[in-house]
């Protein structure tokens, strides 16, 4: 029973308590760049959850045979393989989405969250906890960017997933521009810190 509780915690800490965007403030590059529409965010979420979970599992399972001095290059090879798989799959099935995400899809290789979880968690934990950690962190990241992208798309274009919500709403263009990303992220971080303090 206690063990199950622990496993649940490995998963759930990424959702809120140690949310990679709002509390650890990692992986801001895709967060700021691709959250212009909810569709982009959903695509990025899928890619990151997949890469993060599987790279965590593989890194955790090879953790005892990788020499400490060259562990980072080894981790990157593992992560890059999964990113390549993702990219090729997405190019096959969602070519338009890949076009929108652009360079930020291959850049998942250097996403700080994935490197961070490999270094901080997977390299010294067993496979099952690492899997749950990767999944939890991935879902936490996804929830955060979906929230940001939803707000930005709604405020900046008046639409959600490309559909107009209110007709009598004059969208505030700044929210789909770079300053809007920083404004939204900053205010959300402030809000979540406020909630956590309570």
Binding-site size, other proteins (CB under 8 A): 10
Task: Pinpoint the alpha helices (H) of 25-126.
Answer: 28-33, 38-61, 71-93, 95-101, 112-120
**Residue 175 engages other proteins in binding (rule: CB under 8 A):** yes
Considering beta carbons, is residue 64 or 194 the nearer one to other proteins?
Answer: 194
Q: By CB under 8 A, which span of 48-56, 66-74, 138-146, 182-190 interacts with other proteins?
A: 182-190
Give me Rg for the CA atoms of the chain.
18
CA distance 76 to 41: 24
For 21, phi then psi, to 5°, come to: -85, -55
Q: Choose which of 25, 120, 190, 195 interacts with other proteins (CB under 8 A).
A: 190
Q: How far apart are CA 118 and CA 75, in angstroms?
A: 7
Q: Does 177 bind other proteins (CB under 8 A)?
A: yes
Q: Please identify, using beta-carbon distances, which residue of 77 and 187 lies nearer to other proteins.
A: 187
Identify each DSSP E strand in 115-181 by its residue range. 159-160, 163-164
Please give the angle made by the CA atoms of 119, 120 and 121, to the nearest 5 degrees. 100
Supply the minimum distance, in Å, between the C-beta of residue 162 and other proteins.
Answer: 20
Q: Which of residues 112-171 bind other proteins (CB under 8 A)?
A: 170
What is the Cα–Cα distance from 111 to 105, expressed in whole angstroms? 10
Subset of residues 34 to 73 that bind other proteins, contact rule: CB under 8 A: none
Does residue 188 touch other proteins according to CB under 8 A?
A: no
Interaction between residue 197 and other proteins (CB under 8 A): no
| Residue 179 contacts other proteins per CB under 8 A | yes
Interface pick for other proteins out of 85, 88, 164, 173 (rule CB under 8 A): 173
Q: Are 139 and 16 in contact (CB under 8 A)?
A: no
Q: How far is the CB of 62 from other proteins (least distance, A)?
A: 46
Q: How many helices (H) and strands (E) does the chain have?
A: 8, 2
- Judged by CB under 8 A, which of 172, 188, 189, 192 binds other proteins? 172
Q: Cβ 172 to other proteins, closest distance in Å?
A: 4
* Rounded Cα–Cα distance for residues 46 and 34 (Å): 13
Q: Which residues bind other proteins (CB under 8 A)?
A: 170, 172-175, 177, 179, 183, 187, 190
């Amino acid at each position: 029973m206690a063990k199950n509780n622990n496993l649940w915690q490995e998963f759930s800490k990424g959702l809120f308590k140690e949310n990679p965007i709002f509390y650890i403030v990692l992986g801001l590059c895709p967060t700021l760049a691709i959250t212009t529409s909810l569709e982009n965010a959903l695509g990025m979420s899928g890619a990151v959850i997949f890469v993060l979970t599987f790279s965590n599992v593989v890194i955790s399972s090879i953790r005892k045979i990788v020499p400490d001095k060259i562990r980072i290059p080894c981790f990157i090879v593992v992560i890059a393989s999964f990113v390549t798989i993702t990219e090729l799959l997405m190019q096959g099935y969602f070519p338009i989405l890949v076009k929108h995400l652009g360079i930020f899809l291959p850049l998942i290789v250097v996403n700080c969250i994935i490197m961070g979880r490999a270094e901080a968690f997977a390299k010294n934990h067993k496979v099952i906890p690492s899997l749950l950690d990767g999944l939890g962190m991935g879902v936490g990241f996804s929830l955060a960017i979906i929230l940001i992208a939803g707000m930005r798309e709604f405020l900046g274009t008046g639409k959600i997933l490309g559909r107009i919500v209110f007709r009598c709403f004059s969208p505030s263009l700044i929210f789909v521009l770079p300053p809007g990303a920083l404004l939204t992220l900053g205010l959300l971080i402030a809000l979540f810190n406020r909630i956590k303090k309570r």
